[in-house]
Structures are given as C-alpha cells and as structure tokens.
C-alpha cells in the first residue's frame, strides 16, 4: 500500500508483523481494512503501510527518517515494541527508541497515535508492568494519542489467533481495526 497522489493527506502505519498482515493476504489485514474504511467514509487520506514483520524499535528508529521523507505523513500510527518485549530487550531502550521515533514524526509535522502492547505473564511481573507502562508514559510525555493495547477485547480468544498464538487471524482483523479506530478518529478530524 503506497500513498496515492490522488489523496490530500497520508496516514502512515509503522509497525511490525501485527500490522504487516502476517500469515494472510495483505488485503485482509487491519491496515487494508482501515484504508477501505477511510475511503468509504470519505476521509481525504491515503494509507502507507511501512510495517515489517520482526521489526524492533531499534530497527524502526534506524529507518524512520527515510520513511518520513518518502511518505510525508500527516498521521503516524506507531505500532512497534512487541518484538522488543518478546525478545526480553530492556524496556528503557525500547522507550528511548520509541521516543526518538515519535520526536522525528512530530518534528516532520505528523500527529502520532502510539499503539501499546502487553506481554504474557511468563515474562515476569516487573518486566511486563514496566513494558506496558512505557507506552502510557510516552504518550503523556510526548503528547500523543494512545491505544493502550492493540489486542484489547480478544487477546484471550485462541480461536481468533493463528497457530502460533501470537498473530491475530484474519477473523480478528476487524476487531484490531475497531481498537485502532477509536483513538485514531479524532486525529483524522484535526487540521
């Protein structure tokens, strides 16, 4: 999905496999469903999906400048961090990387929706709490919109996940979009 010159504004989705339609046709993922909804509801936005499966916040930080230059987004949906958590990487480093990505997006004139994630309890209470808290802290300190948990409302429903129990199945993509839409809609209306 690339931004089209026919549209006035660009919405950039910058995430990992959860946004890259891992394990299904790209057109069935929540980002494609978002693009369809924007068109159906006549929002003057095109969608650019620069999500990469396996991406960490360090990888995202390394390529954000070029992605911002290429797409010149008005809104950035930043959905990174899950792979940092699954790999047990330091929360402080993840937070620093996300903050730098947000700062660059804001400096480029984009409004940001930060998408949070939660980890399974087997990572330990201290780590999982610090990980989850990092997203809220960043949203406050950088004055961004926040979706606290991308998989809210269905994370415990195994039938809505692929066999790996990590990636939402095609049937869950409308629920993901519903979660994203709620904090995104006010950003779409701002000038």
Report the catalytic residues: 17, 164, 167
Q: Please provide the DSSP assignment of 149-171 as one string.
A: -TTTTTTT-GGGB-TTSSSBPGG
Q: Please provide the DSSP assignment of 78-103 as one string.
A: EE--HHHHHTT--HHHHHHHHHHHHH
- Per the document, the length of the chain is 191
Which strands sit side by side in the sheet containing 75-79, from one edge to the other? 45-49, 9-15, 75-79, 111-115, 145-147
- Find the Cα–Cα–Cα–Cα dihedral 119, 84, 92, 69, rounded to 10°: -130
Write out the two tokens for 173: 């993509």
Which residues, at least 6 apart from 8, have a Cβ–Cβ distance to it below 8 Å? 44, 45
Residue whose tokens read 């230059």: 69
């Amino acid at each position: 999905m690339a931004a089209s010159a026919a549209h006035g504004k660009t919405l950039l989705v910058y995430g990992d496999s959860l946004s890259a339609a891992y394990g299904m046709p790209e057109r069935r993922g929540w980002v494609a469903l978002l693009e369809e909804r924007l068109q159906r509801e006549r929002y003057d936005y095109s969608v650019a999906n620069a999500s990469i499966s396996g991406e960490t916040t360090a990888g995202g930080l390394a390529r954000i400048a070029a992605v911002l230059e290429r797409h010149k987004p008005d809104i950035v949906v930043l959905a990174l961090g899950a792979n940092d958590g699954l790999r047990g990487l330091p929360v402080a480093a993840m937070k620093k990387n996300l903050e730098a990505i947000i700062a660059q997006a804001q400096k480029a004139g984009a409004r940001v929706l930060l998408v949070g994630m939660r980890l399974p309890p087997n990572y330990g209470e201290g780590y999982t709490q610090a990980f989850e808290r990092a997203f809220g802290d960043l949203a406050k300190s950088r004055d961004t919109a926040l979706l606290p948990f991308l998989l809210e409302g269905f994370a415990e429903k195994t039938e809505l996940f692929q066999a790996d129990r990590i990636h939402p199945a095609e049937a869950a993509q409308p629920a993901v979009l519903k979660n994203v839409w709620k904090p995104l809609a006010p950003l779409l209306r701002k000038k």
